[in-house]
Structure formats: structure tokens, C-alpha cells
Amino acid sequence: MTSFASKTFCRVEKLCHHLPVVLNTFLVFSITGEVSYLVMVEAPLEPDQKKTIWSSRWKTAHLISQYFMLINICWNAMLFIKTSPSIRGVFLGGEGMGQGWRYCYNCETHTPPRCSHCYDCKVCVLRRDHHCVFFGQCVGFRNYRYFLSCLLFMWSGLLYATLMNAEVFLVILKEGVTVHSVLLLLIPWIMLISGQVSPRAFAFAFIADTCVVGFLLVSAFFFFHLVLMFRGQTTREWYSSRRPYSLGVMGNLYHTLGLRWYVCWLCPLIPSPLPGDGISFQVTGSLEPAR
């Protein structure tokens, strides 16, 4: 009985671990599909423009930009998940141990500065920033570039989708600011259950709401991490108000995104080797928390 309960718990835990990734994938492709439908079928053009060359070019430009963002989101997310930032397979030489090194009792090894143990990943992570629950992976030294690039294209994609869905909000509000229109905008699923809207109207309203909420959340994450990157900090160092590894804006960009920091965010295929090893860092300030 205990063995069955243990196996069941492990399966549920594994399912919950992958659930955020599945949910994010579903939302990304749902939003992409809905915006593609808006562009191809219900493009905001006058009836006499529907069959013109300008209309075809307009739709082509929108679809190219839309799927460029989608490919970058998926590719960066895949590389982020596949690139492990942990200490597994990394030689932590004993001769180089100095200030900032600590002993991890969970991993049973000495760990370098800016490295800390993640209880979700069950391993120490080099230059650990935080554990991303949306991807089930820690953000660390080797995969920070993919994490930030994914956030960039998610932010731009959600901004684009929100602007494209502006017409959906305008159509809903054409009847005026009534209880029906407000409920359809804020809680469309209740309107669907009550039978006051069609499944099609519900789908458009729900995805439009998701775009707005998602854009606000991703904006907060994206700009917060941009500030951290410019300051040369991790989230953990931001909590303790420390900036001992800041090398200036240009130096921080170089050490975070790599040799081709100025162009690597355009495509994950562009090689951009990181200058360090994630073990030793140049100290430029006090390692003690600011008081």
C-alpha cells in the first residue's frame, strides 16, 4: 500500500512539474492562432481594401513578424530548459577556493560564489538567479541569455497581440458600458456558463483578457530582469542590496549575454560564448549586504 501511494505521489509530482510548461505552450499557441485568425479573416480593413495588393502585403508582414516572435519564444524556451545551469559535470577545483565559497550539505561539495542550492532542482546552480516555476528550471549562468531572450519576445508578442485584440474590446464596448459588456471583458467564462454569450465570443474575450494580464505580468518580469542585468546583480543579490560584481553597464551586458551581446537576442542560433566559467567572478565591491 505504501509503495502504491509513493508511486502515485511521484507521478502526480512529475505531472505538476510539467504542468506549467504545458499550460504556457497551450496559451502561446492559442494566442498565436487567435491573432492569426484576426489577421487573415477579420483584419481591420475597410471592405473595399480586402482584396487589394496592400491588404495582402499587410497580412504577410503581420504573419511574418508574428511567427518570427513565436519561433523565438519556443526556441529560446527549449534551449533554456535543455541548458542546465547546475554544477553537475563541472569541475570545482579545490585550489581555487577563496572568499565567498561555501559548503553545501545537500550536494556534499564546496560551491563557488553566487552559487546556491535549489530545493526544486535538488542541485546547486552556478550564478543562481531564481527557480522559474513557469519552465520548471533554474535560471543560472549558462541559460540566462535564453531566459531573457524568451522574456523579450514574450513581451513583444503579448504587446502585439494586445494591440491586435484592441478591436475585440471596441466591438464588445460598442453596446456601451453595461453589466453585460463589463462581465464579458472581466469574467467571460461566467457569461459562457450562463449561456449569455456564444463559444466564439467567449474564446475571443478570454484570449484578449489573457493577452492583457499576460502582458502586464511579463512586463514586470522583463523590466525587472533588465535592471538586474544592467546592474550586474542576481535576484538573490538584489534582495540583499549587494552589487559586488558589477562591471559597468557594458561589462555586465558582455558577461551576461556573451561576446555578441548586441545581436544574440535576435536569434538563439547566433553563437555568443560567455567570457567566464560561472565559478570565479571579478569582485568590484563589498561582499557584505548594504546596511
**HSE toward the beta carbon, residue 175, CA cutoff 13 A:** 10
Name the active-site residue from 115, 132, 138, 150.
132
Give the residue among 95, 74, 90 at the shortest CA–CA distance from 127: 90
User: Is 132 one of the catalytic residues?
Assistant: yes
The total of other beta-carbon atoms located within 10 Å of residue 132's CB is: 18
Distance, CA of 118 to CA of 128 (rounded, Å): 8
Which parts of the chain fold into alpha helices (H)?
2-40, 53-82, 144-164, 166-172, 179-186, 188-193, 199-231, 235-239, 248-257
Phi, psi dihedral angles at 209 (to 5 degrees):
-65, -40
Using the Cα atoms of residue 26, residue 130, residue 122 and residue 281 in order, give the sign of their dihedral. Answer: positive
**Left, alpha or beta for 176 (phi > 0: left; psi -120 to 50: alpha)?**
left
Q: How far apart are CA 233 and CA 286, in angstroms?
A: 13
CB within 8 Å of 32: residues ≥ 6 apart: 66, 67, 70
d(CA 159, CA 34): 14
Catalytic residues: 132
